[in-house]
Amino acid sequence: MSQPPHDEPGLADRVRLEIDKLLQRGVKGFAYLRSDAPDVGLTPKDVIHARGTLALYHYQAATDEVYRTPVLLVMSLVSKPYILDLAPGQSLVEYLVARGHDVYMIDWGVPRPEDSGLRLENYVLDFIPDCVERVLEDSGEPDVSIVGYCMGGMLSAMYAAAHGEGPLRNLVCFTTPFDFDGMGLMKRWSDPKYFDVDRIVDTLGNVPPELLVRSFEMMRPVSNLAAQIRLWDNMWSDEFVRSYRIFDRWANDQIPFPGECFRQFTKDLQWANRWYKRELQLGGRRVDVGRIKVPFLHVMAEHDHIVPYDAAKELADQVGSADKSSIVLKGGHVSLVAGPNAVRRMWPQLDTWLAERAT
């Protein structure tokens, strides 16, 4: 027997609903102001290695069997890694662990003033190889898959390019910049005629996180205000408010950019575009993307305002692997890896791609 059609609410019902929402906005808005920020990064983990501010996590398995090849997540230098482990049900790490992957993650920590001398060489030729060694030692396996997000993807790809014969089995990059001429506003703001990177680094050491947060905000100058209006509109919805708070916390929780690394990033990558032109040298070693021969996947976001599609699209084409692919998914820089869209779109594709290459 068919169900009777569901009637749309009439005017009286709608008015009642709106009044109810208005009351809830008031009550929940008050609770919102009084409550603490939500907890993040809750997937159980052990710290298996620490070095300076760096910590290498190993997430505890949630299945009886795991895939043979461990997965190492590499985060960006300027963002906290908990975007990949936001909250139960909204955590890429939790998802991968539940799907039988053995997951590790590099947390770069918050650079201290004395870390201002760190350069790309330190990350690509020392920290990542060191962490890879620790993962191999801890897992007892001869190879590892690396998944890098944003600048973490760039560091991972540089590592792969510099260690052609290394223990890397698969490489996945999320929204990873490659052609810095496609960086849009970021590129234009750092015009060498007016942007004195030497003065910034020589004076401040590390680049303060406020500068980075303001830069990201300037890319969408009205979005903060619009987000506040949407928050008020949806204050009656616990799910919306919880999600808003988690993302807002992360977006404002950026970390300083190590000074020398920022100088190198600006001069060699933003201005000279050496990574794209295959002219980048790190520690006397040419870091050529064509030397990456392992299976490669690049996931990009259609509406990414931080790493625009134009800056990311050519990476897969230039990688020297035979097994390589790139996917463009709906969403932005953050919603690609976290949030309802990521759960529906990206995570299952990542799981399938890794699983087929992890035995």
CB of 10 to other proteins, least distance (A): 9
Rounded CA-CA distance 7/219 in Å is 43
Secondary structure (3-state) at 23: helix
198 in Cβ contact with 172 (< 8 Å):
no
Q: Does 101 qualify as catalytic in the annotation?
A: no
- Using the minimum distance from each CB to other proteins, give the nearer residue, 52 or 320: 52
- Binding residue (CB under 8 A) for other proteins from 4, 221, 284, 322: 221
Strand partners, 286: 281
> Residue 283 gets which letter from DSSP?
T
- Binding residue (CB under 8 A) for other proteins from 61, 213, 251, 328: 61
Residue listed under structure tokens 């004195």:
196
41 in Cβ contact with 250 (< 8 Å):
no
Q: Does 305 qualify as catalytic in the annotation?
A: no
Lookup: tokens for 169: 């089995």
Q: Does 253 qualify as catalytic in the annotation?
A: no
CB of 286 to other proteins, least distance (A): 28
**Is residue 102 part of the contact set for other proteins (CB under 8 A)?**
yes
Site for other proteins in 68-97 (CB under 8 A): 68
CB of 46 to other proteins, least distance (A): 7
**Is residue 181 part of the contact set for other proteins (CB under 8 A)?**
no
**Is residue 195 part of the contact set for other proteins (CB under 8 A)?**
yes
Lookup: tokens for 239: 């799910």
Site for other proteins in 135-154 (CB under 8 A): 137-142
b (16+ CB within 10 A) / e for 202-239 = eeebbbebeebeebbeeeeeeeeeeeeeebeebbbeee
Rounded CA-CA distance 165/291 in Å is 10
Our measurement of the distance from residue 290's CA atom to the centroid of its chain's CA atoms, rounded to an integer in Å, reads: 24
- Binding residue (CB under 8 A) for other proteins from 20, 27, 51, 164: 51
151 in Cβ contact with 177 (< 8 Å):
yes
Q: Which of 102, 143, 150, 173 is catalytic?
A: 150
**Is residue 66 part of the contact set for other proteins (CB under 8 A)?**
yes
> CA 309, 311, 313: angle at the middle one, nearest 5?
60
Q: Which stretch binds other proteins (CB under 8 A): 42-50, 257-265, 320-328, 342-350?
A: 42-50
Backbone angles phi, psi at 299, to 5 degrees: -110, 125
Site for other proteins in 299-338 (CB under 8 A): 335
- At position 288, the amino acid (one-letter code) is D
201 in Cβ contact with 260 (< 8 Å):
yes
Site for other proteins in 240-279 (CB under 8 A): 240, 243-244, 247
Secondary structure (3-state) at 326: strand
**Is residue 165 part of the contact set for other proteins (CB under 8 A)?**
no
CB of 339 to other proteins, least distance (A): 7
**Is residue 9 part of the contact set for other proteins (CB under 8 A)?**
yes
Q: Which stretch binds other proteins (CB under 8 A): 62-70, 85-93, 169-177, 281-289?
A: 62-70
**Residues tagged active-site:** 150, 304, 333
Q: Applying CB under 8 A, which residues contact other proteins?
A: 8-9, 14, 18, 46, 48, 50-52, 58, 60-61, 63-68, 100, 102, 112-115, 137-142, 185, 188-189, 191, 193-196, 199-200, 203-205, 218-223, 226, 229-230, 233-234, 240, 243-244, 247, 335, 339, 352, 355-356, 358-359
